[in-house]
Amino acid sequence: MPEVFELPEENLFNVFNILLLENKHRLVKQLKKCYEPNVHGHKTWSSSFLLMDYFQTHNIIKRSSDVIELGCGWGAASIYCKKNGAKSVTGLDIDDNVFPYLEVQAALNDVTIKESRRSYEKLTARHLAQYNLMIGADICFWDDLAVKLEKLFKRALGAGVKRILLADPGRQPFLDLAERCQNFAKVDLREWYVCDPEYFDGYVLDLKPKTSKKAN
């Protein structure tokens, strides 16, 4: 019989053993008075749950994992990684206003997530070399983002990143990105679904270097 968690107050939900805030939560309402995200960072997107389930199914998060989450928003996937033993986790976003939400959710789960505000173009090979796992959820929704991510993934794999995992509902820019990545990476594109906190389906893009025999 699955373990039942009693939540301490309303408008919280538990998924994959982490606590996350609903938009109606009192702290979210307070934060919105001072910090209004302006690049789609106004909630936890469902593709984050696809990532969490994929991580858990394939036992991806290790104690040696140095993780960077692209377009982290409120940081749900980052929090999952840190809660499940990752060595370090950095949440990257171009929008300063998402980080207060990330900080509150991280504190709620008793973890610390490093923060980085910069665009994908500013992630140099030297910067990327400190990570071995790159993740992102719901971040490829425009054609120009697909172009930027393709260039970023090339740099990342060349700099030593061992694995890149992206989840998406299946938007065309994301599917186009997956096809173009075959030119420089081992590509595994899978349909995936979760039933918690509610049913949601989409895709997970799993990239590894072409010359790599085994990913961390």
Domain contains 141: yes
Per-residue HEC secondary structure of 5-66 comes to CCCCCCCEEEECCEEEECCCCHHHHHHHCCCCCCCCCCCCCCHHHHHHHHHHHHCCCCCCCE
CB 89 within 8 A of CB 113: yes
Domain contains 204: yes
3-state class (DSSP) for residue 88: strand
Token pair for 24: 């109606």
Domain that residue 161 falls in = 12-209
Domain contains 6: no
Q: Residue 139's domain is classified under what CATH number?
A: 3.40.50.150
CB 52 within 8 A of CB 77: yes
Phi, psi of 174 (to 5 degrees): -65, -45
pLDDT of residue 215: 45
Q: Which of 112, 66, 119, 111 is nearest to 92 (CA)?
A: 119
Give, for all 216 residues of the chain, the pLDDT tens digit. Answer: 445 455 667 778 899 999 999 878 787 788 888 777 775 545 687 999 999 999 999 999 999 999 999 999 999 999 999 999 999 999 999 999 999 999 999 999 999 999 999 999 999 999 999 999 999 999 999 999 999 999 999 999 999 999 999 999 999 999 999 999 999 999 999 999 999 999 999 999 999 999 754 444
Domain contains 165: yes
Q: Which of 97, 92, 94, 96 is nearest to 77 (CA)?
A: 92
d(CA 45, CA 13) in angstroms, rounded, equals 14
Give the global pTM. 0.90
Domain contains 151: yes
Domain contains 95: yes
Domain contains 216: no
What end-to-end distance do the CA atoms of the chain give, in Å?
Answer: 33
Count of alpha carbons within 13 Å of 6, Cβ hemisphere only?
0
Domain count within the chain: 1
Domain contains 82: yes
